Structure 1
């Protein structure tokens, strides 16, 4: 892979989150980054990241990937990943965070229109683990992103968006292989996740978490980190962030959201939020709508 020439001037750290009424519950990001590095995190939506200039390196599902200009990086809901520059100049991209229901809805339309891939029992479409290099798909997604951001004719904007997502689904979506029966360690990790997420405002020790799965604190922490990619405390804080988004999207104050999700204070909430999303919760909440 050849990374295209860098621009004359390095990119800035300049993210802008925004929303559109045509994608209920979704978020979009128009950004350029120079030296910002995203901490390991996940989203509860499909991430379609269209690289416009420069290149981004990210860790995902046990591998290191580089998305360069004209490519699309797809991150599946709930999958831990990172993000940082691949070149000295950074990268510029346009990102969709599309709700699972939205993508499944488009998949349903595609299936009925063309007799394409049918996902079993509400399964989520799977796009694989590698960077997608498809000029037409990237251009269609980028065009849809621009139309939504500028508040263009909704009939046009929605048509282009549906067409772009359809192209991605028809060309790259597949059904994941059926899951194997859960192993004992898998059951333990799921039990710990349930315990961590039960009450996010509860003060919970590693010892108490380990007792729920009959392991020592050391072995519980090592097992959890190995299986999820995050330490128990980091996973819980990421869940707090994900659960904070609907309230922020609805206009709640960052201070109220921080307290409701169990963060010690606003500064604690802001620090974790910025590492995961690149902006403060207040700026994320204030993103323009179209």
Structure 2
């Protein structure tokens, strides 16, 4: 039986990336007419390949590539293989990209223009794809925003025409302890990296780096471990795994089971026996 291909796309938004759209898409017949965006377009190719005309050249983006488009630049887009292509795309605003660049450098920065043509960097593409998936599931805002900030910071540090020189981290035990205290509160409630950083008067980028450098793991990982430690105590009390997953802030029982086994080597139901 001959395989058929079709177009499927979903445009959506996340409060963690304000004033922006995100797109999850598989395209076969789609041919984009010449167009431009007010902000950046950052598509990460997941399968197949896309070809597009950009700044007078024909570009080809395959799996693991980023077909980055700067604001205001006219471009097209169509399949480059018989099976089409799939990508996860970010459309961040100029203001958001410029603010992240300034947060990285610790000083005001201009617009972080990206190079003309395809960025072939599987590591950066992988980080951005993970962030996109976390934003789409919306299961853990803290993990999603951390991945988003780290992924785009890596992109800008490697490929912005004026690359921000990342400011050094100064020890700050007081702020780290304040972040730990905030992370320990209301474990069943979601928290974003921006919320945490605002509590201590830092940018999300700097707050995540300070915490990770001081503690040895990013804020979302530390909070998840605290949830698991609390869950152990609840298991000793004989509570059900389902109730514990809800009480400690995991998205569902399978999410709880997966993290518990990864940390302790057994599923919570078997740990209690």
Bin for the TM-score computed over the shorter chain: 0.5 to 0.7
SS class of match (1:107):
helix
Equivalent position of 1:181 in the other structure: none
8 Å contact from structure 1 (residues 10, 34) kept in 2: no
The answer on 1:133 being equivalent to 2:120 is: yes
- The CA deviation at 1:152 is 2.1
8 Å contact from structure 1 (residues 29, 94) kept in 2: yes
Equivalent position of 2:100 in the other structure: 106
Residues 141-160 of structure 1: pairs in structure 2 closer than 5 A:
141-160=128-147
SS class of match (1:75):
coil
For 2:43 and 2:68, the matched residues in 1 are separated by 6
For 2:114 and 2:61, the matched residues in 1 are separated by 15
Residues 206-217 of structure 1: pairs in structure 2 closer than 5 A:
none
- Name the larger-Rg structure: 2
- The CA deviation at 1:11 is 3.9
The answer on 1:41 being equivalent to 2:35 is: yes
8 Å contact from structure 1 (residues 54, 68) kept in 2: yes
> Residues 207-255 of structure 1: CA distance to partner in whole angstroms, max 9, x if unpaired?
xxxxxxxxxxxxxxxxxxxxxxxxxxxxxxxxxxxxxxxxxxxxxxxxx
Equivalent position of 1:63 in the other structure: 57
Residues 65-214 of structure 1: pairs in structure 2 closer than 5 A:
65-112=59-106, 119=109, 123-175=110-162
> Residues 109-159 of structure 1: CA distance to partner in whole angstroms, max 9, x if unpaired?
1112xx8xx73xxx3111111211111100000000000000121111000
- The CA deviation at 1:29 is 0.2
Q: Against the structure 1 CA distance between its residues 136 and 44, is the aligned structure 2 distance closer, same or farther, given a 3 Å change threshold? A: same
TM-score (norm 2): 0.57
Q: Against the structure 1 CA distance between its residues 26 and 64, is the aligned structure 2 distance closer, same or farther, given a 3 Å change threshold? A: same
Q: Against the structure 1 CA distance between its residues 68 and 9, is the aligned structure 2 distance closer, same or farther, given a 3 Å change threshold? A: farther
The answer on 1:50 being equivalent to 2:37 is: no
For 1:158 and 1:143, the matched residues in 2 are separated by 11
Q: Against the structure 1 CA distance between its residues 110 and 140, is the aligned structure 2 distance closer, same or farther, given a 3 Å change threshold? A: same
- The CA deviation at 1:175 is 3.3
Q: Against the structure 1 CA distance between its residues 102 and 135, is the aligned structure 2 distance closer, same or farther, given a 3 Å change threshold? A: same
Cα RMSD for the two superposed structures = 1.7
Q: How many residues align?
A: 162
For 2:39 and 2:147, the matched residues in 1 are separated by 20
Equivalent position of 2:26 in the other structure: 32
TM-score (norm 1): 0.54
Q: Of the two structures, which has the highest relative contact order with CA contacts closer than 8 Å and spacing of 6 or more?
A: 1
> Residues 75-110 of structure 1: CA distance to partner in whole angstroms, max 9, x if unpaired?
001100000000111000000000111111110111
8 Å contact from structure 2 (residues 54, 117) kept in 1: no
- The CA deviation at 1:39 is 0.2
